């Protein structure tokens, strides 16, 4: 088993959904990713927080198998995102984004991070994603996420990173935006032509499309959840489960490994949406993950 390097945001979120609301709860892609990934594999984190970042919030990652050497504390406030969901829980509406200390984030890898074999570039400025990627010596497998903001404002830099990674994880709407395709399958086909060996189109409650350059398509419905409390972090914990599984396997993933990683990621994400913020995923251990995994196989009509 090897360690996964992740770069992303460490944040406080204020979230309102039809089920209720939370104020300044711990969030950010790197937190969500790390909590999810450590169910299966150790993580090394690169990120920045302000001096308001509570000791108990740091403990969330300290209590798991996360190397925090790369977590920088800077004078000022931690990144804060505030948003809401209406009945369409597939799409967050942003009310306010306060970058705070994240605005001057310059990701420098601690020396012992540079041999990381699995690397995930969560949704941040593509120039920073590239800067992290450039510091890693010889990764076995690399992946990234992105969002509409970077597609619109930094497309050229974004395409450079996409060209360099092995797998792109992207929401369906953003995959369509990036390719100009109005069909999700067509978008998945267009995206592998931009460089990565594989792409995962995330469709929220509807599941995902995996497209592998040489092996073709795999489609997976989401694990059915009758009451979604808060979808925040579903995509980041999907990525955590996905990379947690791949790093657990340890070798360069084949198509079958990627399919299995999709199962694990979807299972992990299904826990996330059942409670606010990190609460849903925090409770999950390996046994619970395996139990739901077996339920999931059954729901899909599979025997194993």
Residues that bind its own copies (CB under 8 A): 18, 87, 89, 182-186, 189, 203, 205-207, 209, 216-222, 224-228, 259, 299-302
Which three-class secondary structure state does DSSP give residue 155? Answer: helix
Exposure b/e, 175-211, CB count within 10 A at least 16 = b = bbbbbebeebeebbbbbbeebbbbbbbbbbbebbbbb
In the complex with its own copies, the residue whose CB is nearer, 68 or 186, is 186
The helix/strand/coil state of 254 is coil
Gap between the Cα atoms of 221 and 240, Å rounded: 18
Give bridge partners of residue 49 from the DSSP assignment: 73
Least Å distance, CB 162 to its own copies, is 20
Nearer to its own copies, 95 or 300 (CB): 300
**CB 180 → its own copies: shortest distance, Å?**
11
Q: Which is nearer to its own copies, 92 or 140 (CB)?
A: 92
The CA-atom distances, in angstroms, between 8 and each of 125, 145, 159, 197, 203 are 10, 10, 18, 22, 21
Q: Which is nearer to its own copies, 16 or 77 (CB)?
A: 16
Closest distance of CB 207 from its own copies, Å: 6
Shortest Cβ 173–its own copies spacing (Å): 12
Q: Two tokens at 124?
A: 């941040």
Nearer CB in complex with its own copies: 17/31: 17
Minimum distance of its own copies from residue 201's CB (angstroms): 10
Residue closer to its own copies (CB basis): 84 or 218:
218
Please choose, from the candidates 110, 77, 73, 71, the residue with its C-alpha nearest in 3D space to the C-alpha of residue 96: 77
Least distance in angstroms from the C-beta of 234 to its own copies: 14
Residue pointed to by tokens 């409390």: 229
Q: Considering the complex, what minimum distance in angstroms separates the CB of residue 280 from its own copies? A: 16
Task: Identify any residues that bridge with 202 across adjacent strands, giving them in sequence order.
Answer: 171, 208
Q: Which is nearer to its own copies, 161 or 209 (CB)?
A: 209
Other beta carbons less than 10 A from residue 64's beta carbon: 15
∠ at Cα 142 (43, 211), nearest 5°? 120
What residue has token string 């609301």? 21
Tell me the C-alpha distance between 257 and 29, whole Å: 23
- Tell me how far, at minimum, the Cβ of 265 lies from its own copies, in Å: 14
CB nearer to its own copies: give 54 or 299. 299
Phi, psi of 225 (to 5 degrees): -125, 120
């Amino acid at each position: 088993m090897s360690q996964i390097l992740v770069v992303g945001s460490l944040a406080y979120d204020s979230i309102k959904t039809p089920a209720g609301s939370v104020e300044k709860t711990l969030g950010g892609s790197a937190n969500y990713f790390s909590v999810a990934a450590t169910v299966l594999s150790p993580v090394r984190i690169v990120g920045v927080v302000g001096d308001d970042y509570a000791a108990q919030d740091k403990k969330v990652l300290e209590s798991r198998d996360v190397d925090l050497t790369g977590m920088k504390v800077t004078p000022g406030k931690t990144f804060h995102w505030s948003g809401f969901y209406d009945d369409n829980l597939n799409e967050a509406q942003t009310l306010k984004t306060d970058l705070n200390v994240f605005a001057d984030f310059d990701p420098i890898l601690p020396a012992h991070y540079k041999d990381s074999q699995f690397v995930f570039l969560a949704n941040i400025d593509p120039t920073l994603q590239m800067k992290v990627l450039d510091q890693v010596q010889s990764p076995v497998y690399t992946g990234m996420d992105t969002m509409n903001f970077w597609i619109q404002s930094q497309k050229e830099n974004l395409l450079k990173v996409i060209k360099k990674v092995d797998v792109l994880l992207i929401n369906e709407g953003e995959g369509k935006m990036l390719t100009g395709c109005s069909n999700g399958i067509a978008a998945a086909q267009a995206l592998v032509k931009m460089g990565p060996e594989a792409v995962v189109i995330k469709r929220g409650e509807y599941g995902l499309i995996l497209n592998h350059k040489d092996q073709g398509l795999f489609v997976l419905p989401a694990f059915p959840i009758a009451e979604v409390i808060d979808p925040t972090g579903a995509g980041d914990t999907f990525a955590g489960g996905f990379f947690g599984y791949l790093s657990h396997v340890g070798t360069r993933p084949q198509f079958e490994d990627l399919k299995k990683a999709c199962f694990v990621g979807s299972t992990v994400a299904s826990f996330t949406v059942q409670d606010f913020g990190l609460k849903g995923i925090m409770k999950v251990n390996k046994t619970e993950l395996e139990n739901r995994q077996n339920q999931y196989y059954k729901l899909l009509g599979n025997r194993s």
